[in-house]
Amino acid sequence: MFKEKFKEGIISAKQFNREDIEYLLKKGREMRAIKNSNILNGKILATLFFEPSTRTRLSFESAMYRLGGNVIGFHSGEVSSIKKGESLADTIRTVENYCDCIIIRYSLEGAATMASRFAKIPIINAGSGSGEHPTQALLDLLTIKEEIGTLDGLNIGIMGDLKYGRTVHSLSILLSNFDVNVYFISPKELMMRKREKEFLYQRQLKYKDVTDYRNLLGILDVLYMTRIQKERFVDLEEYDRIKNFYIFKKTDLDETKNSFKLMHPLPRINEIPPEIDGSEKSIYFRQTNYGLHMRKAILAELLID
Ligand code: CP
């Protein structure tokens, strides 16, 4: 059923209802117990990364190898024939002949949607400009479910670059399937955009916009921090002005509940100091491990015949 619904791939968090998410969370949990397997023996994944990545590309590649499959691809537009002027559509129509699934990261919103229109195999959106990054959001929910035990009844702060942050767009959309209170915490220049908010309003997500996170520290179950993304700014002076707007402090951690969890999709710059990495409340590196298991689950569901 999952495979049929997602036969064109995973392009947006909007494709998922609560049942789909819970199904993948169950599969992600099962994958934690499977280190190596051959269930994807004979399958080939193509990873087409036109923007830099450490976690997304390598966790998908590792997931594929861990399940017995193989990987082809490139990690820079500089080494593909796009550099010679080939269109993305022609690239997709070519690469689909060599693999069973394509993962694409591209600087333009809508690139993964466009790719899925041209492909006859599943496309996975690994980040499209300032749009979405749905598999990051799925691994974020797996992290919360496994670490806290539930996705309902939580107070969740989402902080940083909410305007250009594709991870937070997809995360907010997925959270709209659950009974949560969301606090969007950002400088006014980087507030969640109207287009995302209108969708979340329609989905009846309970959210508030705030600038200062400190008053929330005592009530939050999760604080999901993000990087201010230099590469998305047209005006670098504006970036310089707000790049250090939020820096989480060790003393902030002391004000949080015992069960509080600090998350981040990574990479981080200055917003989380390394001195709090060792806290049981800092779970961003465990989050990267959940990413491997969620991506194993996604590949298995899309690719097993
Ligand atoms: N979280 C995330 O997308 O990380 P990468 O940019 O390293 O893939």
Instruction: Give the side-chain half-sphere CA count within 13 A for 56.
Output: 28
Ligand 1 atom closest to 52 (CA) = 6
pLDDT, one tens digit per residue, over 19-68 is 999 999 999 999 999 999 999 999 999 999 999 999 999 999 999 999 99
107 phi and psi angles, rounded to 5 deg:
-75, -15
The tokens of 249 are what?
Answer: 């402090």
Provide mean pLDDT across the span 13-18. Answer: 98
pLDDT at 1: 87
158, β-bridge pairs: 184, 224
Ligand 1 atom closest to 126 (CA) = 3
d(CA 66, CA 42): 13
**Could you tell which of 50, 53, 59, 168 is best to mutate to test the pocket of ligand 1, judged by most ligand atoms within 8 Å of the CB?**
53
Ligand 1 atom closest to 59 (CA) = 8
pLDDT, one tens digit per residue, over 228-281 is 988 888 889 989 999 999 999 999 999 999 999 999 999 999 999 999 999 999
Provide mean pLDDT across the span 192-202. Answer: 96
Q: Tokens 């099962």 identify what position?
A: 30
pLDDT at 259: 98
**End-to-end CA gap in the chain:** 12
Active site residue 105: yes
Q: In terms of pTM, does the model score above 0.75?
A: yes
d(CA 14, CA 150): 21
77: pLDDT confidence band, cut at 50, 70 and 90?
confident
Does the structure show a pLDDT above 90 at 79?
Answer: no
Active site residue 150: no
Provide mean pLDDT across the span 281-303. Answer: 98
pLDDT at 80: 86
pLDDT at 29: 98
Ligand 1 atom closest to 54 (CA) = 7
Catalytic option among 35, 84, 188, 195: 84
**Distant-in-sequence, close-in-space partners of 22: CB < 8 Å, separation ≥ 6:** none
pLDDT at 283: 98
Catalytic option among 27, 66, 133, 227: 133
CB 53 within 8 A of CB 80: no
d(CA 118, CA 132): 19
pLDDT at 32: 97
Does the structure show a pLDDT above 90 at 292?
Answer: yes
Any residues with Cβ below 6 Å from ligand 1, and which?
53-56, 127, 133, 136, 265-267
Summary mean pLDDT of the chain: 96
- Name the residue at shortest CA distance from atom 4 of ligand 1: 55
Catalytic option among 57, 105, 227, 261: 105
d(CA 300, CA 305): 9
180, β-bridge pairs: 154
CB 253 within 8 A of CB 262: yes
* DSSP class per residue in 91-150: HHHHHGGG-SEEEEEESSTTHHHHHHHH-SS-EEEEEETTS--HHHHHHHHHHHHHHHS-
pLDDT at 24: 98
Active site residue 84: yes
- Name the residue at shortest CA distance from atom 1 of ligand 1: 265
d(CA 277, CA 274): 5
Active site residue 55: yes
Residue type, 75: H
* DSSP class per residue in 183-245: EEE--GGGPPPHHHHHHHHHTT-EEEEES--GGGTTT-SEEEE----GGG-S-HHHHHHHTTS
**Distant-in-sequence, close-in-space partners of 197: CB < 8 Å, separation ≥ 6:** 207
Does the structure show a pLDDT above 90 at 82?
Answer: no
Q: Ligand 1 mean position to 133 CA, how many Å?
A: 9
Active site residue 54: no
Catalytic option among 47, 56, 167, 226: 56
- Name the residue at shortest CA distance from atom 5 of ligand 1: 53
d(CA 16, CA 14): 5
Does the structure show a pLDDT above 90 at 78?
Answer: no
**Could you tell which of 48, 55, 135 is best to mutate to test the pocket of ligand 1, judged by most ligand atoms within 8 Å of the CB?**
55
- Name the residue at shortest CA distance from atom 6 of ligand 1: 53
Ligand 1 atom closest to 56 (CA) = 8
d(CA 6, CA 199): 21
Does the structure show a pLDDT above 90 at 74?
Answer: yes
Q: Ligand 1 mean position to 61 CA, how many Å?
A: 13
pLDDT at 83: 87
